[in-house]
Structures are given as structure tokens and as C-alpha cells.
Structure 1
Amino acid sequence: MTPDQIRLVQDSFHEVLPIRVAAAALFYERLFAIDSDLRALFLASDMPKQGAKLMASLGFVVRGLDHANTVLPTVRELAKRHVTYGVKEHHYPIVGQALIDTLAASHGTAFTPAVREAWEAAYALLASVMIAAAREDQLAA
């Protein structure tokens, strides 16, 4: 990611914070609309708490984009936990689409092509690290 992309992601996420509860609800609504089978991974979840965890994790990663080496160990551990929840590699593009759709809906016209591209780059980085960590964990098991 370029420094400009990092700034765009961080600035646009700052705009989501005031509506984080609604944004999280919209994210899961969109996620389940894309793939209703994913609902099964959340049957025992308190969705408002799950949404708060989502936004906290996303905030942690977004704040750490300009010093990724400090957040990557936590991201790797998050990926390993997600494996135990039943998350599979093919779920990552679905989550990415739900995230981009949520951000686009939340930002309206402020979600410019440059902002979209920055978020896509950020999510690609996050997903690649998480997928690699999950693969490593599964090979070690």
C-alpha cells in the first residue's frame, strides 16, 4: 500500500466510527446476503457484540497500516482463531466484498474510486496475511 492509500483508508475509517454500530449491522446483513451459509458460523453469537468486535479489530488494523509490522502478529493470531470458528479460505473474498459494499453504502459519494482502491488494497493485504497464517496453522496441526 502506498502512503496515500493508507491515509485514505485511515481517514475514511474515521468517518465510519460515529456510525460503527449501524455499519457493523450493515456489514453482517450484506455478508449474509452474499452467502447465507455464513450465517451458520454466527448462530451462537451475540451479533451486537460481534459487530463491536469487528469494528474494534478493523480499527486496530486500520490504525496500524502505517506500521504494519507491529499489527501483523495480532492479525496472524486472529486468523488462527478464525480457523477454529470454521472460517475457510474461500470466505475471505466474500468478507471483502461485504466490507467494500458496507463502506460504499456508508460513505456515499465520498467513497471515490481512489478510496475504494485503497480499501481493496488494505483488505487484500489483511486477507493475504490471514490466509497465510491459517495455512501455516493447518499444516502444523
Structure 2
Amino acid sequence: MSLNVKVLEESFACIKPKATQFASTFYDNLFNDNPELKPLFANTNMQEQEKKLMQTLVLVIYNLRNLTYLKSLLRDLGERHIRYGTVQVHYPMVGAALLKTFEFYLGKEWTKEVKQAWTDAYAEIVNLMLSETKSEEEISELELLEQRRLDPIIVDFASTQPNATASRFHLKLLLIIFVLAGLLSVGLLYYHSSLTTGQQGGATPVRN
């Protein structure tokens, strides 16, 4: 990965104070230019989605100098996007909307150098998200195998309860809570790490 890290960091710092507006404008641009993508977000809380966009950008920018972690992060993100219904043809649409939004918020600071830096960065991000990413069929097969592995456990647990349907639901809910707790722990760990890095480097991490 050969990116203009300095330009990326400096230009991103310019839009951090307007992070909420930036994310909202990005999705406006995306849906206005590509209305066929809107159904993918039909059941999505867009305010939360906008926060996730900025959190992802923050993760990428803060880890441009930590490529091993960044590559792993982006490959995992690519697999999740396949589950959401994202296909390869969607990535250029997203990239165009992202560059359009940067141009709007950076104004005169949107120079040829900055545009090239973000164009290269997005291309590399997409490449990493797609590289070694399992196909949709492979992911579906893995999910089916995982469900088959869990089903006997759930059934055995439910069979000992007065209400099998309710018990099955509660166990699944418990599993979801464990997963969410794990994700929250990772998020808090990253937030603490970013605060430490910011204090050492004189930078202040974004807070949405």
C-alpha cells in the first residue's frame, strides 16, 4: 500500500468538526446519484449508519501507519458488506459519492493532490475489502454450518424448559447479547487506544 498518508490525515482533520453533516451529505449524494441503492438501507437507522461511516473513516485514517491491522479490518468489513447485499459494482458508486462529499466540504482545499490521495486511498480500501474475501456462496455455506452446529444445543436446552419456543428465543437473545458485549469491549479498547495515541501525538480523536 503506497498512500499519501500526510495529505489524507490533514484533509480528514478539516472535515472532523463537521463529521455529522459530512456523513449525512454523503448518503444524500449516494442516494440522489444512485437511487437503486436505497432499498439496501430500507430497514436501516440512518443516523446510526452515518455514525458507522465516520467511525470507519476514523479507524482507517488512524491506522494508515498500522497496515497489518488495517488490512485485517478491511477484509472483515468486506465480508460483512457481502452479507448486507453489497456487490462489487456498488463500490464505484460509493467512491464517487465519497469524493463528491469531500470536494463539497473541503472547498478550496480540494486540490488535485488531495483528490488523488483520496482516490488512491479508496481504491486501495476496496482492493483490501475484496481481496481474500469469501464469496457470497461461501459465506452462506459457513453460516448454514454454524447454524447446524448451534441448533442441537438450542434444541437440547429448550427441551428442558416449560416453553420450548420462548426458551429458544431467550437463548438466541443471550448469544446476541454476548456478541454485542464483545463488540462493545473491542470498541472501548480502540477508543482508549485512540485517546492515548492522541495525547502522545498532540491530536484529539473524533467524538461523534
TM-score range, shorter chain: over 0.9
Give yes or no for contact 1:30–1:98 (8 Å, CA) kept in 2.
yes
Are 1:79 and 2:78 an aligned pair?
yes
Output the CA distance in 1 between the equivalents of 2:40 and 2:67.
28
What does residue 138 of structure 1 align with? 136
Residue 2 (structure 1) shift? 4.4
What does residue 37 of structure 1 align with? 36
For these two proteins, the number of residue pairs brought into alignment is 139
The CA RMSD over aligned residues, in Å, is 1.4
Output the CA distance in 1 between the equivalents of 2:22 and 2:69.
26
Aligned positions of 1:45-56 closer than 5 A: 45-56=44-55
Could you tell me the percent identity over the aligned residues?
Answer: 31
Are 1:18 and 2:17 an aligned pair?
yes
Distance 1:30 1:133, change over 3 A: farther
List gaps (5 residues or longer) in structure 2: 140-208
Q: TM-score w.r.t. structure 2 length?
A: 0.63
Q: Which structure is higher in helix share?
A: 1
Q: Which structure's CA Rg is the greater one?
A: 2
Output the CA distance in 2 between the equivalents of 1:91 and 1:122.
17
List gaps (5 residues or longer) in structure 1: none
Q: Deviations over 1:97-124 (max 9, x none)?
A: 0000000001001011000000001000
Q: Which has the higher contact order (CA 8 A, sep 6+)?
A: 1
Output the CA distance in 2 between the equivalents of 1:38 and 1:133.
25
Residue 57 (structure 1) shift? 0.4
